[in-house]
Amino acid sequence: MAFGLPMIQKWSVDPYGIYGLVLTPTRELAVQIKEQLELIGGPTVRVLNVIGGLCMLEQATALQQRPHFVVATPGRYITSLDIVLL
């Protein structure tokens, strides 16, 4: 919540496009952070996990939908960006 709450407060002023990116070293931590951002932000905040173990193509497609916040592991995020940019 230490970084999530300020991010959501700033986002609420201008809620368009991807506003925040959280890079985390593990998938488990990414899932926990996503849950907390959704809890703080409520139903209007769109948060996307970009992590290993899930379909890479689906994650790249979800990135194109422009979620408000992305919580990702570094390797999968870079790979997903490569797919989106192609």
Determine the pLDDT at residue 69.
92
Determine the pLDDT at residue 86.
57
What distances in angstroms separate CA 7 from CA 13, 22, 39, 67, 77, one per listed residue? 10, 10, 13, 14, 20
Containing 77, the helix (H) or strand (E) segment is: helix 74-85
pLDDT digits (tens, 9 = 90+) for 21-33: 999 999 999 999 9
Low pLDDT (below 50) residues in the chain: none
Domain boundaries, the chain: 18-85
Determine the pLDDT at residue 84.
67
